[in-house]
Structure 1
């Protein structure tokens, strides 16, 4: 397992040799939600407690919790690559968004093999 998952939140798994502790933070949001544990089981338990505490605090304070990986992000590329991708999308009668999404999907599938 490379990441922890709970209620739509993803957490990192790190190790501190100085402390002999596992630790991590929720990724994909701006806020800091961190957790730790001496074993994998304790790390996972603290991760779930941290997410539950975050969601409870948001509810108590009447604020919407951050949604990780909303499905939109900015991509900065050269103007030449932007032009080529836009023209390819136009010729394929699809959107630039679809071209980018497909390229990412193909790259991830290649890495997962």
Structure 2
């Protein structure tokens, strides 16, 4: 397992040899939600507790919690690549958004799960 998953949130798994601790943070959001543990079980428990605490804090404050990986992001590429991609998308009678999504999907599908 490369990541922790809980209630739609994904957490990293890192190791600190200096502290002999596992640690991580919730990915895909601007806020910092971190956790740690001496073992994998402790790390996972602290991850779940951190997410639950964050959600409770948002609820108490009447705020909407950040949603990780919302499905939209900005990409900066060279103008020539943008042009080529846009022209290929037009030739394929699809949107540039669909063209880029398919290219990303093709690359992601090549990676082992």
State the TM bucket, normalised to the shorter chain: over 0.9
Match of 1:86 in 2: 86
The alignment's C-alpha RMSD in Å is 0.8
- Unaligned ranges ≥5, structure 1: none
Other structure's SS at 2:111 match: helix
Q: 1:1-113 maps to which residues of 2 (within 5 A)? A: 1-112=1-112
Over residues 21-79 of structure 1, what are the superposed CA-to-partner deviations in whole Å (9 max), with x where a residue is unaligned? 00000010000000000000000000000000000000000000000000000011000
- Unaligned ranges ≥5, structure 2: none
Alpha-carbon shift at residue 109 of structure 1 (Å): 1.1
Give distance in 2, aligned partners of 1:99 and 1:15: 38
Other structure's SS at 1:75 match: coil
Equivalences, count: 113
Over residues 6-27 of structure 1, what are the superposed CA-to-partner deviations in whole Å (9 max), with x where a residue is unaligned? 0000000000001100000001
Runs of 4+ in 1 over 2 A off after TM superposition: none
TM-score of the pair, normalised by structure 2: 0.98
